[in-house]
Amino acid sequence: MDDLQPDATWGDDAASPMERIVRPTTLFIACGALARELVALKRATGWAELTITCLPAHWHNVPQKITPGVLRKIRSARGAYDRICVIYGDCGTGGELDRALAAEGVERIPGPHCYQFFMGTAGFEALTEDEPGCFFLTDYLVRHFDRLIIKGLGLDRHPELLPDYFGNYSKVVYLAQLADSSLKARAAKAAARLGLAFEYRMVGYGELADFVARAAGTPVPADA
């Protein structure tokens, strides 16, 4: 599942047409970087009426695409679902996404980015207040570090740019969703490659799990 299709949709394939008409349904429009976690939470809640559709994760590098892309998804889904929610942070849109969602009457998970809602707002704000020089990784970013960070920033071709990009950071903080020793080792290697100290924090799904559970009306199991 490392290369989930950005426009793939995960819903209730077993539901009959009549069941889909009479049962409340919810659509999550999400960043592709969260697809794996959302599919896991959907399975954990056992809520068949939740459908997930994703936009390309690399749009974080071109945030001007995010709001129009989300709006297209919303408008094409109108009438097919009882409720539509957006699983994106602001993600560099400068408030444009929130303004568009307010006009559409669509809710999104609170927070500027996934680091905050994975770690939890209070903990994230306290950490960044005390240590502003943190560069954050999630499970997704660890899996795709070379493609998104090294190649994405051109460091494979121009390693001399490393101080320009990361000179103001003091450490890498890996906010892990899964307790996976291989991912932890890869994250530590990524920190070393950037010349930064390394800190590991097992945070799980954080406020993302709370948001999904509220939408589903079903608590997420503690071991999810």
35-45 helix and 206-216 helix, angle to the nearest 10 degrees: 50
Show me where the domains of the chain are located. 9-113+205-216, 121-202
Maximum mean pLDDT: which of 10-14, 39-43, 48-52, 131-135: 131-135
So what's the pLDDT on residue 222? 66
For 9-113+205-216, CATH number out of 2.60.40, 1.10.540, 3.40.50, 2.60.220 equals 3.40.50
Got the DSSP string for 173-213? EEEESS--HHHHHHHHHHHHHHT-EEEEEE-TTHHHHHHHH
Tokens of 123: 């903990």
Would you place residue 204 in the very low, low, confident or very high pLDDT band (cuts 50, 70, 90)? very high
pLDDT the model gives residue 94: 93
Count the alpha carbons within 13 Å of 169 in the hemisphere toward its beta carbon: 19
Mean local confidence (pLDDT), 7-16: 48
Residue written as tokens 């020089």? 133
* Among 111-120, 186-195, 214-223, the least confident range: 214-223
Residue scoring higher pLDDT (60 or 187): 187
Q: What is the structure's pLDDT at 201?
A: 98
Give the pLDDT confidence of 17-36 residue by residue, as tens digits.
444 444 558 999 999 999 99
Asked if 90 and 113 count as a contact pair (C-beta separation under 8 A), the reply is yes
Minimum mean pLDDT range among 4-13, 138-147, 179-188? 4-13
For residue 192, what pLDDT band results from cuts at 50, 70 and 90? very high
Residues 140-173 pLDDT 10s: 999 999 999 999 999 999 999 999 999 999 999 9
